[in-house]
Every structure is written in structure tokens, then in C-alpha cells.
Amino acid sequence: MFENNLNSENCFDLYETSFVPEQEITTGSNYMFGNGYMGYRGTHPDATKENYAACIVTDTYDNADGKWQELCNVPNGLYLDIVVNGQKVSAFGDSLSHYKRRIDIETAKLTNEFSTDDVAISVERFASMDQIHILSMRLVLRAKQTCDVVVTTGINGDVWSINGEHFSEYNLSEVNGGLLMHSVTKELHTDIYVAEKAVFQCGAEVKENIDIGDKQVFRKVAAKLTPETPLVLEKFVAIYSSNDTDNPKELALDNLASVQKDGYQNAAEKHDIRWQALWDKYDIKIAGNDRDQTLTRFNLYHNIIHTPTHALLPIGARGLSCQAYQGAAFWDQEVFNLPMYLYTDPEIARNVLRYRYETLNGARRKARKLGYRGAFYAWISGKTGDELCPDFFFKDIVSGRKIRNHFNCWQIHVSPDVAYTIWKYYEVTGDKEFLHQYGAEMMLDISLFLLSRSFYNVDKDRYEYIRLLGPDEYHENVDNNIFTNYQARYTLQKTIEVYEQLTKENPSQLAALMNKLDISEETVNTFRHMIEKMYIQPINENGVIEQFDGYFGLEDVTPEELATRLIDKAEYWGWPNGVAVHTQVLKQADLVQLFVMHDDFDEDVVKANFDYYEPRTEHGSSLSPAMHSVIASKIGYDDFAYRYFVKSCTVDLYNTNKAISGGTFIGGIHTASCGAVWQMVVFGFAGFSVSDDTLHFKPALPAEWDECSFRVNHKANIVDVKMSRECIVLEGHKQNMAALRIDIGGHGMMLEPGQSVSR
């Protein structure tokens, strides 16, 4: 048992034995299950929209209120209501004799147990990783003494939705002994089919009837149960939308019939096997610290279940845990979620990067709209890649006046962040087919954007970026933000590499591309000139790099003192006139972020900058602590590294912040910090990086752990890594195709297939 009502049986689960109503929103997210196609919140079996029950489905974007496009919370096919002797029995009940909610992380199954004096109830639910359109539920209801029981299940279309009611119609029917709900979204007229089939088994006689309402279709089952005649309900729900397929109704019914035929037990086993394969790739095993083992797996689990792999779709900033942040990708996707996949399962990264390729036209439209050429990826990127972030969406809570945010126009680093990840993907896979077919076009068009957004300062003979918003969002409207300029130069460098590769290897494809993108030789030469003349903030006499022009001249105050200047604790610290704007206090440290992504800075520079920026960072972003952990590890600040590790791992688990603010739901899983757990362990504690086809390790195992092991992949070669306090052991898989160059703390060695090395 650790903090915040959290327990674990086997370090591969979380459970609670009491319900804390104040944390209902948070626990609904933390206990959720999902499979990348859909996310089902871990609320109680009888939860409704009042309890933030939700089943969020990918690729159901719809704008219902004229303002926000978001994923739909589809009709709830797992609706459940239990009445015993005329009284509702609920997991929310305050006089339960037994209560337990447990998410099995290993197999992504949620179990709810709750008992009264009359009955004992157990409900298991999961979203199949084998059949991703299928939700499954198994209810076992045992009477302790003879009871009249009525169980209602079916499909409830009366769902929670943050920004308006998405469905304009509901068509309800009984089909093949099951229930079917066809709803149609308001904006884009997407058809959504939810089909369910429930099978009751019971020793006692059972009376069934169907109850069809406006938005609900339910099956009601009544029985007089005795202790000897438990009632078992096994049901499946199939969900398809017309964005998934041209015949969603047929597929829903077919899929449902097929899984139904196979039975609940087989479905669960197939699902478990899929999960076993995932953990083989992604698991990080920690010996000697059960809490940290559990925290780590919790975060890995969420990075998995929120990543769509079935289609070219984004990883949402809140994943599939709710509708917040519009089910849309931010730069978080490339920089926080993808590294785990890049080094363990690069096909997944490829898929997400292909989503960026599919949305190139949206990025181009955004660039045109703002007067630029090339591809300017959206700050909030949904299905089409068009910018979903409106100019005005939050308010100054002191004056009540709307605030013009500039995330959508000044945060230009999103585009080079995509290019950076394309190149990283290429580095770890050597996948030239992807690079040439998709990457080159994206990189050239991003570089074109970077050119058209840049200015040449004639007087200083350098290229500059003016009016930026870096990762540190407390400082808008800044110039030459080091993170942005560095990423831009890197992008241009790698674009020239791709260009030169294509010049040699595929000149006709290159010519076609240059023609399509309207990029001339002269433009390529300008790219080269930009690389040469890009202004990168210098390292000052103390080894510190100024985050942007003029930063050092801002008021130097601690985040703690700054907090005392707040008029209202809930006010925004940034633009236009928040407390941090004219100070050195950061939301997150751009330089720390940069060091995670680029290892070409000397360690003393990294250290000097960490020393400077860390005390000035407020960590107002959940992205911040993890990056501090990684860099603290690298510079030998083990205490910092571990402290930030715990802070980052518990962003969701220990979250006691309000998840609703000013009537707006802002809760849900912080998928970026979930993805970052892998970086903290592998990049941070193991000191892993790849350069020039060499796998570098520089272990710094936390004092709190005995051992830690994980798996990495380089160009389809797999390496199992195990670190203890004494040594690190690397084992090359037998199937590896080549020996790998390894560097451990400066000592080079070769790792042959089927062999191991250690130090």
C-alpha cells in the first residue's frame, strides 16, 4: 500500500478497497482500460454520465458546439443496473460489506467487487486487444440468501460529453437476440454502431424483457436467486464507426457474432496473449522497489492503451481517457510518447509518423493561412491536421476577459519536432523506404516552412526566429528561443542529408518531390545558408545558455515567491499578464528538454544549465519533471533524478488537483508523462543513447532499486538490458542479424547475436 489510496497485489495491478468520491474523476481515468481503438473509463459498473463514465472511440471527431472538435463518447454498451429486493445495489453504495476496484495492468482488465448483506457482486471488463472493436464484461452475482434480483443491461446513449451533444439521432433495435444502437454525429454525420449481446446463465428461472427508450435500449432480467443459483452474465459489445469501414453495421454484427460464438473465456485468453506480447517488448522490470515497479508499469500501460495502432491516427494529449484536449496530438506525441516505440517497436512509431504524413495537407493549410510556405504542423492536430486550437479559448479569471493564446501561431517547434522524430526513426531502423517515401516530403516541407518563418538579420549576418513560444509556455513572444532555433537547424541539417541521399539514390523521385513542393536548387542553398548562419544562443562565461533573447534581464525570483503574487490561485501564470511573464520563472525548462533530445553538449554545460534553470522552473507542465529526471541522471544528480522520477510517475496517480476548473473538464491521463517513464529509466537511469549505430549506456541505477531490466531494439536487433548496482549486462538475441557496437561508460565492445556483454 502506498500513497493516495493505492495498493498493488503483484506490482502489475492497482486496487483500492474504499472509494473516495472526491477523486472520482481521477480514479475513473487511472483505472481505465483500452486498446488503442477505444478507451473505457475505469468507473463503477453502474456509473452514468454523472460519474464521468465514458467510452471514447478513435476517429469519431465531431464538432457539436460550433467551437470544439472532439472525439465522441459513444453510447455505453456495458450499461449495468442491479436491483435486489427492490433496492438498487451500487458500487457507489455507502453501506457495502465489501468493496474492491482493481485494474490488472498485466492483462488490462478491470474488476469491481462489491457486496451487501444480501449479495456479492463481481464484474470484470476489458477492451479486447485481440479484437479491438470488442468490449467484454462478465458479471457474477451471488445471493447470500434468497433474493429477488433484477439485472438491467444494454446500451445507454445518454452519455457525458464535454463540448455539446454529438448525436443527432438514435436508432434502436433488437437484432439477433442482441441490441443495436445506431447513432449519427451532428457535424460530420458519422454513423456509429454499438451492438451488444448478453448471455445470462442462472440456476433459477429467469424472466427477460426489452425496454426501449429515447436514447436507451435495455434488457431486463428478473430472477429469484438462492445461494445455490448464482447469476452469471457474459456480454460482448461491438463498436464500429463509418470512419472505420464502409459497412460498420455488418462488421459490428459479424464481429459480435464471431466473438460470441468463441465465448468469453476464449476471448479473454486471446486478449491475454496479445498483452503478454506487448509486455515482452515494453516492460521495465524493477527489483527491490514494489512501489516504483508498479508506478512504472502504470505509466507504460497508459502509453500503450492510448496509442492507436490500427489506423493512421494521433496519440491524444489525454489519449482515450476522456474528450479533453480533443483526442488530438501535440508535440508531446513525437517527443514524449514515441521514444519508447522507437527503441522497442519502431513499427508503431512509423505508424504514428505516417499519421503526420497523412496530415501534411492540414499542416500546409495552416502555414498558408498564416502567410508561410511549407508545412506548419498544428499545435492541436486531429484527423485532418488542420489547427484545432482556436485563437481564444480561455479566460483571464481575474477580469473574466478572454485571452488570446498564441499556441497556435507562435509555437513553431512542433514542425521541427516531427522532423526530428522522423530522423530518429530512420536512425534506429535504417528504414530508407519510409524516409524516401514519406520522410523526405515531410522534412523538405517542414524546412520550407522554417525558411519562410525565419528572418535574416543583415546587420548581424544570421538567421533568427522572432516571436516564438517555446516549450516554456510562460514566455510568449520571445526571440531566438534556443529550443526552437536548435531544432530548426537540426531539421535543416537532416533535410540536407535526405536531399543528398536522394540526389544519389533516387534523383527522379527527388525531382518529382522538388517540383511538387515548389522547392528550387536556390531554396536548398538557402537551407544550407541557414544551417551555417542560424543563430544559436551562445554559452556564456558561466556555461549557461540564455533561453531566449533578453531572458537573463528578466526579474529573478523563485517560483515560490512568485506564487504569492497570484490574485487567484487558479489564474494562468503566462500571457498576457500573468505573474511569470516578466520573470525568469519557467513552466518547463527548454534547455533541459533540449539536452534530452541532443547529446552534443558537454556535460559541464548541461550541468551549469541544470543548476541555473532547475530552481527557476515551476513545473507548471506535466511534461517537465520527467525531462529533469533524465538530465539529472546524466549529470550524476541522483537524488534529483529519483525525486523527479517519482514526481513524473505520479502525475496522474497522486493527482489531487481539481480536474474540473471553471466548469471545464481538464482531467484525464497525461499521456506524455506516461510515455516519459520509459525515457526516465532508459535514457536517464541506464544512460542509453544511439549515435553512429553505437548503443551507448551510462548506468546510474537509483539507490532505491536493486535491479532494473528492459529491452531495446536497434535495426531489428534486440538487446535485453539488466542493470544492478554492480554491473550492467547486455544480452543480444539469438535471432539478431548482426553484432552491435556497444559503448558502456566510454568502453567500446561488440555484442554478438546470442551473446552477452557486461561491465
Q: Can you tell me which of 92, 393, 456, 654 binds its own copies, judged by CB under 8 A?
A: 456
Q: Can you tell me which of 205, 541, 567, 656 binds its own copies, judged by CB under 8 A?
A: 567
Distances (CA, A) of 98 to 101, 112, 118, 126, 430: 10, 10, 12, 22, 55
Q: Which stretch binds its own copies (CB under 8 A): 94-102, 287-295, 399-407, 486-494?
A: 399-407
In the complex, the smallest distance separating the C-beta of residue 493 from its own copies, rounded to whole angstroms, is 18
In the complex, the smallest distance separating the C-beta of residue 402 from its own copies, rounded to whole angstroms, is 8
Residue 98 vs 582, nearer CB to its own copies:
582
| Upstream peptide bond of 576 is cis (omega within 30 degrees of 0) | yes
In the complex, the smallest distance separating the C-beta of residue 136 from its own copies, rounded to whole angstroms, is 51
> Between residue 465 and residue 484, which ones bind its own copies under the rule CB under 8 A?
466-467, 477
Rounded Cα distance between 639 and 264, Å, is 48
In the complex, the smallest distance separating the C-beta of residue 236 from its own copies, rounded to whole angstroms, is 52
Q: Which stretch binds its own copies (CB under 8 A): 489-497, 574-582, 633-641, 711-719?
A: 574-582
Q: Does 521 bind its own copies (CB under 8 A)?
A: no
φ/ψ (deg, to 5) at 258? -65, -45
Q: Does 87 bind its own copies (CB under 8 A)?
A: no
In the complex, the smallest distance separating the C-beta of residue 362 from its own copies, rounded to whole angstroms, is 20
Residue 294 vs 411, nearer CB to its own copies:
411
CB atoms within 10 A of CB 158: 16
Residue 460 is classified by DSSP as T
Residue 288 vs 576, nearer CB to its own copies:
576
| Residues acting as catalytic residues | 473
Nearest Cα to Cα of residue 118 among 83, 145, 139: 145
Q: Can you tell me which of 209, 399, 564, 656 binds its own copies, judged by CB under 8 A?
A: 399
Beta bridge partners of 485: none
In the complex, the smallest distance separating the C-beta of residue 404 from its own copies, rounded to whole angstroms, is 6
Q: Can you tell me which of 3, 50, 94, 459 binds its own copies, judged by CB under 8 A?
A: 459
Q: Does 606 bind its own copies (CB under 8 A)?
A: no
Q: Does 538 bind its own copies (CB under 8 A)?
A: no
Q: Which stretch binds its own copies (CB under 8 A): 197-205, 415-423, 577-585, 598-606?
A: 577-585
Q: Which stretch binds its own copies (CB under 8 A): 376-384, 397-405, 486-494, 713-721?
A: 397-405
Residue 257 vs 370, nearer CB to its own copies:
370
Rounded Cα distance between 657 and 406, Å, is 25
Rounded Cα distance between 37 and 57, Å, is 6
In the complex, the smallest distance separating the C-beta of residue 393 from its own copies, rounded to whole angstroms, is 13
In the complex, the smallest distance separating the C-beta of residue 566 from its own copies, rounded to whole angstroms, is 10
If DSSP codes are grouped into helix, strand and coil, which group holds residue 731?
strand
Burial letters for 583-602: b for 16+ Cβ neighbours within 10 Å, e otherwise? bbbbbbbbbbbbbbbeeebe
* Farthest-apart Cα atoms in the chain, separation: 90
Q: Does 563 bind its own copies (CB under 8 A)?
A: no
Q: Does 581 bind its own copies (CB under 8 A)?
A: yes
Report CA 276 to chain centroid distance, whole Å.
21
Residue 565 vs 747, nearer CB to its own copies:
565
By CB under 8 A, the count of residues binding its own copies is 31
Beta bridge partners of 114: 99, 121
Nearest Cα to Cα of residue 534 among 457, 444, 424, 459: 457
Q: Which stretch binds its own copies (CB under 8 A): 129-137, 269-277, 300-308, 449-457?
A: 449-457
Which element (helix H / strand E) includes 673?
helix 671-679
Enumerate residues 6+ apart whose C-beta is below 8 A from 307.
Answer: 36, 315, 319, 337, 341, 348, 352
In the complex, the smallest distance separating the C-beta of residue 458 from its own copies, rounded to whole angstroms, is 5
Residue 174 vs 556, nearer CB to its own copies:
556
Rounded Cα distance between 545 and 535, Å, is 13
Q: Which stretch binds its own copies (CB under 8 A): 104-112, 228-236, 461-469, 619-627?
A: 461-469
Q: Can you tell me which of 4, 5, 229, 457 binds its own copies, judged by CB under 8 A?
A: 457
Residue 260 vs 526, nearer CB to its own copies:
526
Residue 572 vs 644, nearer CB to its own copies:
572
Find where cell 502489475 sits: 12
Q: Is the alpha carbon torsion for 609, 614, 618, 621 positive or negative? A: positive
CB 415 within 8 A of CB 378: no
Enumerate residues 6+ apart whose C-beta is below 8 A from 610.
Answer: 592, 595, 628, 631, 632, 635, 637
In the complex, the smallest distance separating the C-beta of residue 470 from its own copies, rounded to whole angstroms, is 17
> Between residue 366 and residue 385, which ones bind its own copies under the rule CB under 8 A?
371, 373
Q: Does 358 bind its own copies (CB under 8 A)?
A: no
Q: Which stretch binds its own copies (CB under 8 A): 253-261, 453-461, 492-500, 663-671?
A: 453-461
Residue 477 vs 509, nearer CB to its own copies:
477
Residue 399 vs 508, nearer CB to its own copies:
399
In the complex, the smallest distance separating the C-beta of residue 242 from its own copies, rounded to whole angstroms, is 36
Q: Can you tell me which of 516, 582, 658, 747 binds its own copies, judged by CB under 8 A?
A: 582
φ/ψ (deg, to 5) at 194? -120, 115
Residue 574 vs 667, nearer CB to its own copies:
574
CB 480 within 8 A of CB 465: yes
φ/ψ (deg, to 5) at 659? -100, -5
CB atoms within 10 A of CB 93: 17
φ/ψ (deg, to 5) at 21? -55, -35
Q: Does 663 bind its own copies (CB under 8 A)?
A: no
Q: Does 452 bind its own copies (CB under 8 A)?
A: yes
Which element (helix H / strand E) includes 123?
strand 119-127
Rounded Cα distance between 476 and 240, Å, is 42
CB 410 within 8 A of CB 472: no
Q: Does 451 bind its own copies (CB under 8 A)?
A: yes
Rounded Cα distance between 253 and 142, Å, is 31
CB 722 within 8 A of CB 732: no
Contact footprint for its own copies (CB under 8 A): 371, 373, 392, 396, 398-401, 403-404, 451-452, 454-460, 464, 466-467, 477, 526, 549, 567, 575-577, 581-582
